[in-house]
Structure 1
Amino acid sequence: MGSRYCIQCQKAHKACLCSTVVPLSSVIELIILQHPTEVRKPTGTASILTLSLGSAICMVGENFTEHEGLNGLLSETDVTHFVLFPGDGSTCVSEILPPSPSQRYRVILLDGTWKKAYKMWQLSTNLHDLPRLHLPESLQSCYRIRKAPRDNCLSTVEAGYHLLSSWQPQQDFSPLLQSFEQMIQFQLAQMPPDVRQRY
């Protein structure tokens, strides 16, 4: 008997995102640290990034301090690493110059609810010495089917889109948001009409 879930996007087959994905290239590499509760969540967006971008990888866990794969990447001295985590001491992405042809940037995104992402940050001490980034506070999320503490709390795919677009403005990363919107529309279609109207 086959799995209920697509092996590529990890969503239930009826909610599979794979047909919406457009392959994209990026010189910026992304590492997505995903909380275990997000892996098969119908409204999760990290898989859009990993399916679309050959330079994006996902690692699942909560405490990454001793994570061999992540620490192996962090030990690479020819790459500048950042972590996208707002707060005191973080720098806006727009204030960082894009990488030159001889530079490599790798950015870590935390994928989880704000509460879970904060716990991941606290536990993963190997992230604490990395330069921290935040996105412009004026950005507004289109993630209307999932609750967030503020309007400018972006989904993982939206954060990835704005980050990549900021440093590579000559490239069109809009297919990421198009896949995202199709996922939202599918989820809305599953709701009873009276619930759907709230969104």
Structure 2
Amino acid sequence: MDLQTYLSNKEKLKNTGPVYRELCDACVQPSFSCYCEHVKSFDPGMDVVILIHPIEMKRRIATGRMSYLVLDNSFLIRGQDYTNDPEVNELLQDPSRHCVMLYPGKNSANLSEMSVSEKSELVPQGKRLTLFVIDGTWATAVKTIRQSTNLQTIQRICFSPDKPSNFRVRKQPKSFCYSTIEAIHQTIELVGESLGFYIHSRRHDDLLYVFDKMVERQIECAKSGEAKPRHLRYSRDLKKQLGLTGKVF
């Protein structure tokens, strides 16, 4: 292909290609699927530190970001190896905090099996529970723990899921694997009362409310996209059709 033909085809692609939508600064969703109107923030009686993997940060349906928008006094920190992360280390070294990590495993204390008194003893008197949660795939979470030496000594907690995840727009490894926002909700459900959070107010259900709204909207968008004629759907084959793949000679 000569240069003139290439430039001509490139101009055609520019004029016929997709027009990308502007994204909301908060939820990183296009206007038609922005869920910010459904966000109702509250204080869960603990601080939640969401360690979000760079890959997860790019996903528009990352529920770690959603959790951050709902939870007062929460943190959203991007990275994979947090060993030398100044914000993480400052939180870990804060004497007013008791840091734990939500992470399943044989060395994790299972909240589902703990008595009320055992949950009350989870946090030393006078300290605020600071819950670290890794937002990413299981593979990236394992890698984050392996690389982040400062996270390896944190007390770990977990729970036994009592129902399948409702994350219907994203495939989970197994039915009992929860999304980040569902896992945080369940943790508050199990330990919130012992921290002085009034569980019966159901304020923590606001996490699931915005999550369900997002899932429903994504399903609607998927269905409407499938209903469009094929020629109206954006396809990456457009470049191939215009001869813009490969080298320019």
Same fold (TM over 0.5): yes
For 1:187, the equivalent position in structure 2 comes to 218
RMSD: 2.1
**Cα pair distance change 1:195/1:145, threshold 3 Å:** farther
For 2:55, the equivalent position in structure 1 comes to 37
3-state SS of 2:222 partner: coil
Q: CA deviation at 1:4?
A: 2.4
TM-score between both structures, scaled by the size of structure 2: 0.72
Aligned residues: 194
Contact preservation (8 Å) 1:12, 1:42: no
For 1:103, the equivalent position in structure 2 comes to 127
- Rg bigger for which structure? 2
Q: CA deviation at 1:174?
A: 0.7
For 1:146, the equivalent position in structure 2 comes to 170
Aligned partner of 2:88: which letter?
L
3-state SS of 1:186 partner: helix
Q: CA deviation at 1:12?
A: 3.1
Gaps of 5+ in 1: none
1:83 aligns with 2:97: no
Gaps of 5+ in 2: 1-20, 228-249
3-state SS of 2:50 partner: strand
1:24 aligns with 2:24: no
* Higher share in helix: 2
- C-alpha separation between the residues in 2 aligned to 1:133 and 1:57? 19
TM-score between both structures, scaled by the size of structure 1: 0.89
Contact preservation (8 Å) 2:96, 2:126: no
Query: What fraction of aligned residue pairs are identical, expressed as a percent?
Result: 26
Aligned partner of 2:217: which letter?
F
For 1:163, the equivalent position in structure 2 comes to 187
Q: CA deviation at 1:193?
A: 6.6
